[in-house]
């Protein structure tokens, strides 16, 4: 577990503070900021979570319900007004910005078998869980579909409202190549090691809140050229139809891999999407650690091609949200 003790330095960090990384003889040299190199090395040395079997760390609502009497903690990160309307028995309401302090000062995280982060749809919980896992809390999970899988009233205002097929006619099937390698974002930090850099970045990300961590389907389809769009799915799903201009990045071959991440523009808003939006939340959190402007697409493919997903489910194994995913377990007001 990481302890938030921030190191300070009077040394300034500028564009010259870079390492040259030669990935292979056949690929160009990458100018990698020293702080990014330290951060990647540290994350790889501490388990390479984003390329492990634990990524993404999701748990079904049915499992949470079955384990209500076990030594688990449920952390509901929704706004207080929604928490008061109805929450899981025993769940504590913690604002996203207060998560680091809560984990360090209010609880002893490893006394629990599981800590389950809950939101309305599962996407904000996925984003939060990714950060906590990267901080070293290996018993944290995001509840799949969020409270929409727990309660019908929540689902009506969230997942059931979010699923749509309105942009199916605009999908394209051509394979778009990745750009040539460029520069990583410059974090402009002057910290001594990867752990200190992670602490600094996580603190700033939590302080910035959740408002800009997702982006609506309408915003992206209105002008997709405004964004660098990452399809984070299997190739057969990508080939069957994707957002115009979207480029496929391999789910197990992108994060933490320098020459892959270096093809993601540092100066453009990045939109990541997958089938449900859960994986995208995990990916957006990781990229934002390195200074990218990353956003997960609301509701993933379910938000713009739901009918097509139903049609292709047998061949492409799409994961869809529907009435059958709502358990309607009891809530506490």
- Integer distance in angstroms from the first to the last C-alpha of the chain? 34
Q: What is the pLDDT of residue 192?
A: 84
- Which pLDDT tens digit goes with each residue over 145-177? 999 999 999 999 999 999 999 999 999 999 999
The C-alpha atoms of residue 145 and residue 124 are separated, in whole angstroms, by 10
The C-alpha atoms of residue 13 and residue 189 are separated, in whole angstroms, by 6
DSSP states of 155-172 as a string?
HHHTHHHH---TTGGG-B
Encode the chain (333 residues) as per-residue pLDDT tens digits: 444 333 333 333 333 455 555 444 456 678 889 999 999 999 999 999 999 999 999 999 999 999 999 999 999 999 999 999 999 999 999 999 999 999 999 999 999 999 999 999 999 999 999 999 999 999 999 999 999 999 999 999 999 999 999 999 999 999 999 999 998 999 999 888 999 999 999 999 999 999 999 999 999 999 999 999 999 999 999 999 999 999 999 999 999 999 999 999 999 999 999 999 999 999 999 999 999 999 999 999 999 999 999 999 999 999 999 999 999 899 999
273, 295 Cβ separation under 8 angstroms: no
Which domains, ranges and CATH numbers included, belong to the chain?
Answer: 18-51+166-180+188-316 (3.40.250.10), 62-164 (3.40.250.10)
Q: How far is CA 34 from CA 16, 20, 201, in A?
A: 9, 9, 15
Q: What is the pLDDT of residue 26?
A: 55
Kindly give the residue spans of alpha helices, DSSP state H, lying in 151-305. Answer: 152-157, 159-162, 194-208, 217-222, 235-239, 258-261, 278-289
Give percent helix, percent strand, percent coil of the chain, each to the nearest 5. Answer: 40, 15, 45
Query: Which DSSP category does 113 fall into?
Result: S
Please tell me the pTM assigned to this model: 0.92
Q: What is the pLDDT of residue 14?
A: 37
Q: What is the pLDDT of residue 29?
A: 76
Q: What is the pLDDT of residue 27?
A: 63
CA 305 to chain centroid, in Å, comes to 21
- Which pLDDT tens digit goes with each residue over 189-206? 988 899 999 999 999 999
């Amino acid at each position: 577990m990481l302890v938030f003790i921030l190191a300070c330095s009077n040394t300034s960090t500028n564009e010259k503070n870079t390492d040259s990384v030669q990935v292979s003889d056949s690929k160009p040299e990458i100018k990698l900021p020293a702080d990014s190199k330290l951060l990647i090395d540290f994350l790889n040395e501490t388990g390479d979570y984003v390329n492990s079997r634990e990524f993404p760390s999701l748990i079904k609502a049915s499992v949470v319900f079955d384990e209500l009497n076990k030594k688990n903690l449920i952390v509901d990160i929704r706004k207080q007004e929604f928490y008061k309307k109805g929450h899981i028995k025993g769940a504590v309401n913690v604002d996203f910005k207060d998560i680091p302090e809560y984990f360090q000062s209010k609880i002893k995280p490893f006394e629990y078998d599981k800590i389950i982060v809950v939101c309305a749809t599962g996407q904000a919980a996925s984003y939060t869980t990714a950060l906590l896992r990267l901080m070293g809390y290996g018993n944290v999970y995001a509840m799949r579909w969020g409270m929409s899988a727990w309660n019908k009233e929540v689902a009506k205002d969230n997942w059931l409202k979010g699923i749509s097929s309105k942009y199916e006619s605009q999908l394209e099937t051509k394979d778009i190549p990745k750009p040539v390698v460029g520069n990583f974002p410059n974090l402009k930090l002057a910290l001594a090691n990867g752990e200190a850099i992670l602490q600094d970045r996580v603190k700033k990300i939590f302080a910035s809140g959740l408002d800009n961590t997702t982006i609506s389907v309408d915003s992206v389809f209105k002008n997709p050229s405004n964004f660098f769009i990452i399809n984070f799915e299997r190739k057969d799903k990508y080939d069957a139809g994707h957002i115009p201009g979207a480029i496929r990045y391999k789910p197990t071959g992108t994060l933490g891999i320098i020459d892959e991440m270096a093809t993601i523009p540092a100066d453009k808003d990045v939109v990541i999407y997958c089938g449900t939006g859960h994986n995208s939340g995990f990916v957006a959190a990781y990229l934002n650690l390195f200074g990218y402007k990353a956003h997960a697409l609301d509701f993933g493919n379910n938000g713009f091609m739901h009918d097509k997903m139903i049609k292709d489910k047998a061949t492409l194994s799409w994961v869809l949200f529907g009435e059958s995913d709502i358990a309607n377990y009891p809530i506490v007001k």
